[in-house]
Structure formats: structure tokens, C-alpha cells
Structure 1
Amino acid sequence: MVMMSESLFSSSSSVFLTQDIHLESTVQDLPLYSFQVDIEEPGIALTRIFETHPFIPGVILTDRGKFVGMISQRRFLKMLSRPYGRELFLNRCIRLLHRFVTDQMLILSGNTPILEAANRAVQRDPEKLYEPIVVRLFPEEYQVLDTQQLLLAQSYLHQLATQLLHEKTQAQLIQTEKLVLLGQMVAGLAHELRNPLNCISGNARFIQESYDAVLTVLDAYEQKFPNSGKEIERLKEHFDLEFVKQDFPDLIKSIQVSSERMNQLVSSLRSFSYMDDSSKQETDIHECLDSTLLILKNRLKLAGIEVVKNYADLPPIPCYPGQLSQVFMNLIVNGIDALEERMKTDWNELPQIEIRTQIKPLSDQHFKFYNRLSKEELNFPINLFERTKDYLSIKIIDNALGIPPEIKAKIFDNFFTTKPIGKGTGLGLAISYQIIVEKHGGKLILNSTPGEGTEFEIILPLDNQKLLD
């Protein structure tokens, strides 16, 4: 008995609607053909199907309703073209023909990705390359996929991937340009603020000196003329001279403290926006970290996050300070975001970000860690480590929710973000990874336990060579 699907795709053309597939599409998203014929039927039944539907790639063969194989139109016509092929196969049951074609099938699950299916299809022997593919949708439901349509889908997906990559690259270039312009603007603003701040700071000292001089003269006058008269006494009471004497030094001190803090903030902005990448600078890493924390001080305070600093004694480190400050900013902001999310839950712990710095030797423990990675992950041969070389370790640790395992593998990918639209660009960690690995020859390592927290470890060489060169 011959069976046909009522939902059969149009077979008048090999072109299908590609707008319905995407990079994650599977073979069951492509046009499939579900013609079936029992192997006890005569071969002429296949002839009728292929003559009525000349564009179908093949027919499913069943035995009492059970799948036993597939005969392609190409293979069927080839068998008929043999000497005595028509006499041998047309009037006899299809079971005889089935014995000659049982080794020609590639069977794939319906959820096989299109790109994987195409790779498996082209790896077949040359004589089987254009044979259609059997797709298993359910345990007892099989349909036929035209290999040509599969390869067309593969070509379309390659074009789509190239287009998406181009769009992402353009978006990244735009974002990078914005960051450069923002850095230049911040640097210019910091420079413009420095002059009035220096004026305030300098005048505050001058006012303090002038106040001290006026107070000295006033005290000398009161000692010389203790009875200054009722008019002077009335003025003293009106202006509360004693309170002014006590309060004025505090006012001057508050101006000096505020101007000093503003100077620190401006210095932090200038350090953060430092754009000269022509050569590395001998830099105080702790100053970079403290400048970043100063910029984020208000947000940390509003969130109630405690910052614990465990700083070791460090020498000046050759680096690009502006870029390194950007990495610190990205990692600490990620920690703040994670802690703010955790604080929305029923959580009684104190939100905390710990920053540790330490000089370490490249120990056997780290060799074991890197040996677990493949050469593709390392991007350099493992045997080029220098076992005795010291390095700087900077750890930024939070006690938030941690990162799920399925996200860890994508965390440094361009444009990957778990944040809502408008809050995250998906570039922060990707750019941080690029800065540490490519610009500084170091490593950026993620360690995270779901439910406990996340640790980012930055490893930097102590000289101008790559850590692993």
C-alpha cells in the first residue's frame, strides 16, 4: 500500500523559504517528504510515485508498517537502467530491490543541527554523496530529506553567520569608538576641573593663613584694650564672634578636605581614561584599584557592599594603566550587579567584594591547571612555560549567587550578557579578556561556585614579556 503525507511540501522547486531557519535550526525545520510504500508491493508502485512526483528525492520502505529502509529516486532509476532491470524489479515485490539498497542510508535524528547534518552528509563515500537522508522524527516515523536542500540550507547559514559576525564586529567597533571618545571627553573634563580645584585648594590655604593673621591681631587688640566699649561688645554678640572663632577653622578644613577628595577623583578619572597605548607604564596597581573604587564609592555605599582589601607589597608593574583600570571597573561592576541581584532574595549575609593582590611563583599547581586545558584554549604550546617565573595575581571575589556552569563557557564571548536590555552590552568581559590576554600577555581566569560566589583572577607578568612566551 502506498501512503503519502497530506502536509507534503511543494516539490516543484528545490528552493525553500530560508527566512524560517536560523543558526540553531535542525533538519526537522527543512522540507521533508513522507511517501511510504510496503516492500511487498510490486516495483511498479515506486514507478508510479516517481512519475507522479518527479521532484521527490526518495520513498520510505516499510514492512507491515515498520520502517525497513529508503529507496532514492536516483538509486531506483539506476537499478532500472541495468540490463533486465525493468523485468527484474518492476513486476516483482520491492523486497527484492531492497536487498540491493540497504547500505545506502544515512539516518539522522530530527533534532540534528543543520550544519552538523551537512558535515555528516558530505563525509559519505562519493557515490553516496547525493543520496537523500532519512530523518527519524519519532520512534516509528521516518521521512526523507533532499541532500541538495540540506546543502542549500548549510550555504544560507554560512552566509547568515558571516553577516551576523560582520554586524557584531561593526557594533563592537562602534562601541570601542564610543569608549575612546568617552575617555577623551573624561580626560578633557578632568583637565578642566583641575584648574578650579587647584584654585580652591590654594585659596583655602591662603584663607586659613589670613584667618590666623586676623585672629592674631584681634587677640593682641583685645589684650591691649580689654574694655572696647558697648558698641564693640554689641557687634561681637550680634555676629557671635566666639562661635565664628571656633567654627571658622572647621569650615576651612572641610573645604580643604573636599577639594582634596575632588583632586583624588579627578586623578582617578584621568588614570581611568588614560588612552596612550604606545608603551607600558610602570604603574602602582593599588593606585589603579583605589582609583576605580573611588569612582564606584557612591554605588558601593548605596548598595551597602563592604569592600575588603588584602593588598600585598607590590613593585611597580609594567602595564597600560587606563586599560587595566577599565578591566578593574568591569569586574567590580559585575560583582556589584551580582550582589544587588542576590540581595533581592531572602539573604542574610553581608554583601562583600574582596580584592587580593599577591606576587606568586608559577607553581606546579598552575601547571596542573593549564595542563587540563587544550592547546586551542591556551593558544600557545604548554611546554613554553617558564617554571621559575613570578607573576602578579589580582583576585576580585564576591559572595553573590555565582555563575551557572552553562554560562561559564560563554562568559568571555562578544555580546554575551545575562543582563536586561539597556543595562549590559555583552562587551565588558570580552574586552577585559582581550586587554589582559592580548595586550598584557596575561591570563584572566574564572572560578565560580553556584550559590557561593565568583572569583576572577588576573595573572600579569612582572616584566614586559608575555607570561607564557
Structure 2
Amino acid sequence: MSPESLEKEVILIIDDSPTNIMLLSELLQESGFTVWIARDGETAIEKVAEELPDLILLDVLMPGPDGFEICQRLKSNPFTSEVPIIFMTALSDPVDKVKGMNLGAVDYITKPFRQEEVLARVKTHLKIRKLTKSLAKQNQLLKQEIQDKIAVEARLQKLTEELEKRVEERTAELTQAMYDLQKAQLQLVQKEKMSTLGQLVAGVAHEINNPINFIAVNLTHAEKYIEDLLEHFQLYQEKFPDPGAEIEAHAEEIDLDFLVEDLPSLVASMQTGTDRINQISVSLRIFSRSDTSAKVAVNIHEGIDSTLMILKHRLKANENRPAIEIIKDYGDLPLVECYAGQLNQVFMNLLSNAIDAFDEYSQAYSYGELELNPSKIIISTEVNEKEQQILIRIHDNGPGMLPEAQAHLFEPLFTTKPFGKGTGLGLSISHQIVVEKHGGQLTCNSVPGKGVEFVIALPLD
């Protein structure tokens, strides 16, 4: 009996965890689905070869063949390739999720499971599968209809036009559904990434802040105590100019004059160091601001500066290239209503890409050759009064970009970086944040050999 003849849709769960199987089975059966179970990949392959389910929930980490291998084998078999596969994983790295999508999976569910999410994703992909099968069936019927009436020339043209229109409509519906799903997946990756990064950075900033405040407060008292002690010591020298041979010998041994002269400078250096660490802590807190459901008015320059502070170690000179110079040309900007944390990620993506380009470019030249043409990133901001926009330009004097790459720059999974060094999500997510979340524009201008300029335009209202 084929799945099409069953009243209930069939879902195959492939998982070696009895707990996961029990939870998912109860949830899906209560929701009106028929559930099949396989505790390992080989058993699942055999079961699917006998009869096709409507959808497969596949665990990534299992004994024997893992979920990625099972997915690849199912998708390479024409008989099973059309069955949608949803990965179940506790992995939080977006690279692993992208790998699953590249192998043919349609979605992923993150453990621990949330019942509403599981049901929503399962129902969405079953609906897409129904639409796809329905579209294929209708297309087949329409083609047969044309063949039956091919003798009627006048009618043939009309039927052809009707067919094209109906196919276009259904294809557009399916394309839109797939596009919406892809956007939702990107938003999930973005949300998880920013949540994890925000918690990490905020935690580090908090841990830095407590001890540095303790040191800074005590340094103030220490500086006053040292001043008092030195003043007291000076009075002793004035009242007792002849302290005796033993004290004079000890003073010479410890270089007392240098100690008295250098001690205030030492305290001042320590104060400078604590101020620097405090600046880093403030930058971390600004960068990791949690976005709420509503936009808030923020200083855009603070977000850029906090991002530069976090990337400072990557801007320094290394054994392959000189330091990358940052030139800031900030205009007089008002506070901007935005999702600050998400915009900071856009700045991070664009600046990191520029640094990556310099690092890759430096491998083809000597250190001396690179010193003759120093690497620079110019960041400028201004208000476009005519368009009522804030403009943020990030321009580098790196190798630039070919027109073919620019045409696909903001597409998901597209990357110009070597294999294994980029996921192709950074610019796509940045474009989504600027355009869809803020109603702005993100454009790229580049001439090969003359660098790359990204322009962010944000509405003022």
C-alpha cells in the first residue's frame, strides 16, 4: 500500500535515542500522523526502500553512518530523493546546518525540541510536498489535455497559453514558498548566532568590569597614599639630612632617587591601563546590545567604534603584512531609530570581509611591497537631507571584486572566499538586516584593483 492511499501522512523518525523517539512519536501521533521508527541509518535505508514515507526526521549524530551520510544516500537514489528530510541536531554551528542544506535537507530542528516548532516545520514541509506533487500531477494532466486536442489548431494555441499561465502561477507560488522558507532559515541562523555572541560578549564584559573597577578605585587611593608617603619621606630627609651609613647604603642599593621619581609614573601607567581595559569593556557592552521588539534611538558611531575595538587585534601588523589603517570621517549624525545589535553585526561582517581580503591579498606580495601601498579602510558617515537618509560608507583599497561576483554578492551561500573559510551567509544576512528589518539599502561598488565600497542607507523616519 503506497503512502498516497493512506488517510494519515507517514513520518519516519531515524534516531538512536529512545527518549527522542518517544517524545516525537507521541507528539506526532497526537497530531494525527502515522509514525515509523528506525534506530539506525541502515535500518532506515531498508525501510524506505520498501515503502516511502511522506517526510523523514533524521538525527545527525548516530552510531554507524551519521545523518549526513544517510541524507546523501537517500538523495542520490531517484526512488527516495523526493522525500523531504528535516535534520534533528544539537549542533549550534551554522556551518553544520549549511552542510545539511547542501546535502539536500529542507530544514533542521534544534534540540531540545519545542513542540510548536516541530509541528510547524513538519506541517510546512508536508504542505510544500503536497503542493509540489499536486503541481506535477496537474502539469501532467494539462500536457495530456494538449495532446488530446492537438488536432484542433485554433484551440491548441489557447490551451498552450492557459497551460503556461497556470504553470507560471503555481511555479511562482512554490518559488515564493521556498523563498519565504529560506528567509526564515536565515533569520533563525541570525537570531541564534547573535543570541550566542551577545551572551558571550556581555558575559566577558561583565567579568572584566568587576575586577577593573576594583583596581581603578584602589589605584586612586594608592596614588594618594604614595603621595602622602613621599611627602612624609621628604620631611624625614629635611629633618635628618644625615641618616647614617647603613641607610645611605640601602638607599643606594635600591636606587632611591629613581624609585621616588618613577613611582608616580608607574601608578599613572597603571591608571592608563585600567582606563584602556574599561574602554574595551564599554565597547563590548555596546556591541552586544540586545535588540528588543521595538527599535531604539542609538548613536551609530558608538556601534562602529565598538566593532573596531573588537577587531583591533586583526588590524595590527603581523608577519605577512603591515597594520591596516582605519580612517574615520564621521559626519554630524542624529540618533537613529534601529535594532542596534543587528546593525553592529552588519558592521562586523563588512569590516571582517575587508580584513579577510587584505589577508588573502598579502599572500601574493612581500612585506616591503605592501608597505609601499598601505592597507586602508575608510569609514565615513553623513546625512542625505534630500533623501532623508543616513549614509554609512565602508571603503577599502584592497584588490576589489569582479563584476560576476558582485552580481551574486547578497545571495545566500554565495562566497568568494576559499573553500572552508566562508559560509556565504554574512552578506546575505547583512542585506536582510538593512533592507527588510530597517527599510534601507545595502549596495556594493567595486572596480577590480581599486578596492570595494559598501554603502548602507538607513531612513531617518
Displacement of 1:162 after TM fit? 8.6
Partner of 2:348: 329
The letter for the 2-side match of 1:225 is F
In structure 2, distance between residues paired with 1:129 and 1:208: 99
Q: Does 1:311 align with 2:345?
A: no
Q: Select 1:241's aligned residue among 240, 256, 262.
A: 256
- C-alpha contact (below 8 Å) 2:391/2:455 kept by paired residues: yes
The letter for the 2-side match of 1:127 is I
The letter for the 2-side match of 1:196 is P
In structure 2, distance between residues paired with 1:165 and 1:280: 23
Matches within 5 A, 1:301-380: 301-302=316-317, 303=321, 304-346=323-365, 348=370, 349-362=373-386
In structure 1, distance between residues paired with 2:181 and 2:347: 29
- C-alpha contact (below 8 Å) 2:434/2:440 kept by paired residues: yes
Q: Select 2:444's aligned residue among 443, 446, 449.
A: 446
Query: For each residue in 1:407-447, what CA deviation from the matched residue of structure 2 results, as whole angstroms up to 9, or x when unmatched?
Result: 21221122222223442222111111121112222111111
Query: For each residue in 1:57-113, what CA deviation from the matched residue of structure 2 results, as whole angstroms up to 9, or x when unmatched?
Result: xxxxxxxxxxxxxxxxxxxxxxxxxxxxxxxxxxxxxxxxxxxxxxxxxxxxxxxxx
In structure 1, distance between residues paired with 2:77 and 2:449: 39
In structure 2, distance between residues paired with 1:273 and 1:194: 15
Q: Does 1:189 align with 2:200?
A: no
Matches within 5 A, 1:62-101: none
Displacement of 1:175 after TM fit? 5.9
In structure 2, distance between residues paired with 1:447 and 1:123: 46
Q: Select 2:272's aligned residue among 239, 245, 257.
A: 257
Partner of 2:233: 218
Normalising by structure 2, what TM-score? Answer: 0.58
The letter for the 1-side match of 2:423 is T
- C-alpha contact (below 8 Å) 2:190/2:429 kept by paired residues: no
Pair 1:309–1:159, CA change in 2 (3 A): closer
Q: Does 1:459 align with 2:453?
A: no
Q: Does 1:279 align with 2:294?
A: yes
Displacement of 1:192 after TM fit? 2.1
Q: Select 2:404's aligned residue among 383, 403, 406.
A: 406
In structure 1, distance between residues paired with 2:427 and 2:311: 18
Partner of 1:69: none
SS in 2 for 1:237: helix
Partner of 1:427: 425
Moved more, 185-194 or 391-400: 185-194
In structure 1, distance between residues paired with 2:145 and 2:293: 55
- C-alpha contact (below 8 Å) 1:360/1:390 kept by paired residues: yes
In structure 1, distance between residues paired with 2:374 and 2:207: 39
Normalising by structure 1, what TM-score? Answer: 0.57
- C-alpha contact (below 8 Å) 1:121/1:129 kept by paired residues: no
In structure 1, distance between residues paired with 2:179 and 2:457: 32
SS in 2 for 1:426: coil
Structure number, greater radius of gyration = 1
In structure 2, distance between residues paired with 1:262 and 1:177: 28
In structure 1, distance between residues paired with 2:202 and 2:290: 9
Displacement of 1:248 after TM fit? 1.4
In structure 2, distance between residues paired with 1:194 and 1:344: 39
In structure 2, distance between residues paired with 1:288 and 1:459: 15
Pair 1:326–1:127, CA change in 2 (3 A): closer
Pair 1:205–1:422, CA change in 2 (3 A): farther
Partner of 1:105: none
CA RMSD of aligned residues (A): 3.5
The letter for the 2-side match of 1:359 is V
Partner of 2:192: 177
SS in 2 for 1:256: helix
- C-alpha contact (below 8 Å) 1:122/1:129 kept by paired residues: no
Query: For each residue in 1:167-215, what CA deviation from the matched residue of structure 2 results, as whole angstroms up to 9, or x when unmatched?
Result: 9965863564143122112212211221111011111121111111111
In structure 2, distance between residues paired with 1:20 and 1:161: 27
The letter for the 1-side match of 2:336 is I
Displacement of 1:160 after TM fit? 12
SS in 2 for 1:187: helix
Pair 1:123–1:442, CA change in 2 (3 A): farther
- C-alpha contact (below 8 Å) 2:295/2:339 kept by paired residues: yes
Counting matched residue pairs gives 301
In structure 2, distance between residues paired with 1:163 and 1:355: 37
Structure 1 consecutive aligned stretches of length 4 or more whose deviation exceeds 4 Å? 120-126, 128-131, 158-172
- C-alpha contact (below 8 Å) 2:186/2:429 kept by paired residues: no
The letter for the 2-side match of 1:267 is V
- C-alpha contact (below 8 Å) 2:415/2:422 kept by paired residues: yes
The letter for the 1-side match of 2:384 is K
SS in 1 for 2:382: strand
Displacement of 1:353 after TM fit? 0.6
Pair 1:169–1:391, CA change in 2 (3 A): closer
In structure 2, distance between residues paired with 1:412 and 1:159: 22
SS in 2 for 1:441: coil
The letter for the 2-side match of 1:396 is I
In structure 2, distance between residues paired with 1:205 and 1:125: 89
More helix by share: 2
Displacement of 1:293 after TM fit? 1.1
Q: Which runs of 5+ in 2 are unaligned?
A: 1-73, 79-138, 151-169
Q: Does 1:289 align with 2:304?
A: yes
Partner of 1:109: none
SS in 2 for 1:267: helix
In structure 1, distance between residues paired with 2:327 and 2:266: 32
Partner of 2:221: 206
SS in 2 for 1:318: strand
SS in 2 for 1:309: strand
The letter for the 1-side match of 2:364 is T
Pair 1:161–1:438, CA change in 2 (3 A): closer
